[in-house]
Amino acid sequence: MWVALSYACWGISIVLALWMLYDWFQVDTTYTEDVLTSSREGELEAVSEKHRI
Amino acid sequence: MTVAVESTGTAVNGDRVSLLRVLGPAHVWALGVGIVLVGEFTGWNFSADKGGTLAALIVCWVVGLLYTSVAMIDSEVTSTVAAAGGQYAQAKHIVGPLMAFNVALFLVFAYTMLEVSDAILLGDTIVAKAGVDGLTHNSFIAATIVVLAWLNYRGVLMTLNVNFVITAIAYVSIVILFFSVSPWTQGAVLKLNELVTPGNALPYGWIGVIAAFQFGIWYYLGIEGTTQAAEEVRSPARSLPYGTMAGMITLLIAAAMTWYVCASLMPWEYLGITPYPLWDAGKLTGSPLLENLLFIATLLAAIASANGCINDAARAWFSLGRDRYLPSWFSAVHPKYRTPYRSILFLLPIALAFAFIADLNQAITFSILSGVLQYTFMSINIMMFRKKWPLGTIRRGYTHPFHPLPAIVLFCLCVVTFFAIFLGFGSQLSAMVAFYFLISVWFHFYRYKFVRRGDQFTMPWPKPQGY
Q: pLDDT band at B188, cuts 50/70/90? A: confident
- Does residue B324 sit within a domain? yes
Closest CA in chain B for residue A45: B459
pLDDT tens digit sequence for B252-299: 999 999 999 999 999 999 999 999 999 999 999 999 999 999 999 999
Q: Residue B185 has what pLDDT?
A: 86
- Does residue B393 sit within a domain? yes
Rg from Cα positions in chain B? 22
Asked whether the predicted pLDDT for residue B402 surpasses 60, the reply is yes
Q: pLDDT band at B14, cuts 50/70/90? A: low
Alpha-carbon gap, residue B64 to B253, rounded angstroms: 10
**C-alpha pair distances (Å), A28 with each of A25, B340, B448:** 5, 13, 27
Of the given ranges (A25-29, B266-270, B415-419), which has the lowest mean pLDDT? B415-419
List the beta bridge partners of residue A31: B3
- Give the 3-state secondary structure of residue B22: coil
pLDDT tens digit sequence for A6-22: 999 999 999 999 999 99
Higher pLDDT, B465 or B258: B258
Q: Residue A51 has what pLDDT?
A: 46
- Does residue B71 sit within a domain? yes
Higher pLDDT, A49 or B256: B256
B452 CB within 8 Å of a chain A CB: no
Higher pLDDT, B364 or A32: A32
From the CA of A47, how many Å to the nearest CA of chain B?
A: 9
Q: A10: which chain B residues are within 8 Å (Cβ-Cβ)?
A: 139, 142-143
Amino acid B461 reads W
What is the number of structural domains in chain B?
Answer: 1
Asked whether the predicted pLDDT for residue B48 surpasses 60, the reply is yes
Of the given ranges (B159-163, B222-226, B425-429), which has the lowest mean pLDDT? B425-429
B186 CB within 8 Å of a chain A CB: no
Q: Residue A48 has what pLDDT?
A: 46
Asked whether the predicted pLDDT for residue A49 surpasses 60, the reply is no
- Does residue B461 sit within a domain? no
Asked whether the predicted pLDDT for residue B173 surpasses 90, the reply is yes
Q: For the domain that residue B291 is a member of, what is the CATH number? A: 1.20.1740.10
DSSP B397-429: S---TTTTHHHHHHHHHHHHHHHHHHHHHHHHH
By CB atoms closer than 10 A (0-12, 13-18, 19+), residue A30 is middle
- Does residue B20 sit within a domain? no
Q: Residue B399 has what pLDDT?
A: 92
Of the given ranges (B56-60, B260-264, B416-420), which has the lowest mean pLDDT? B416-420
Query: What is the span of the domain harbouring residue B189?
Result: 25-450
Q: What percent of chain B has pLDDT over 90?
A: 74
CA atoms within 13 A on the CB side of B103: 29
Contacts of B349 (CB under 8 A, 6+ apart): none
Long-range contacts of residues B199-206, Cβ cutoff 8 Å, at least 24 apart? B200/B52, B200/B53, B200/B267, B200/B268, B201/B52, B201/B53, B201/B54, B202/B51, B202/B52, B202/B54, B202/B55, B203/B51, B203/B52, B203/B268, B204/B50, B204/B51, B204/B52, B204/B55
Asked whether the predicted pLDDT for residue A46 surpasses 50, the reply is no
Q: Residue B110 has what pLDDT?
A: 92
ipTM over 0.90? The verdict is no
- Does residue B80 sit within a domain? yes
Q: pLDDT band at B179, cuts 50/70/90? A: very high
- Does residue B86 sit within a domain? yes
Average pLDDT value for residue range B371-392: 94
Cβ <8 Å between B458 and A35: no
From the CA of B131, how many Å to the nearest CA of chain A?
A: 9
Q: Which of residues 1-53 of A touch B (CB under 8 A)?
A: 2-3, 6-7, 9-10, 12-13, 16-17, 19-21, 23-24, 27, 29-46, 49, 51, 53
Q: pLDDT band at B248, cuts 50/70/90? A: very high
Question: Which residue of B2, B21, B85 is in closest CB contact with A30?
Answer: B2
- Does residue B19 sit within a domain? no
Higher pLDDT, B162 or B367: B162
pLDDT tens digit sequence for B3-13: 443 333 344 44
Q: Which of residues 397-436 of B touch A (CB under 8 A)?
A: none
Question: Which residue of A24, A39, A51 is in closest CB contact with B394?
Answer: A51
Average pLDDT value for residue range B186-201: 88
Question: Which residue of A13, A19, A34 is in closest CB contact with B143?
Answer: A13
Q: Residue B453 has what pLDDT?
A: 79
**Mean pLDDT across chain B:** 91
pLDDT tens digit sequence for B60-115: 999 999 999 999 999 899 888 878 888 999 999 999 999 999 999 999 999 999 99
For residue B404, cis peptide bond before it (omega within 30 degrees of 0): yes
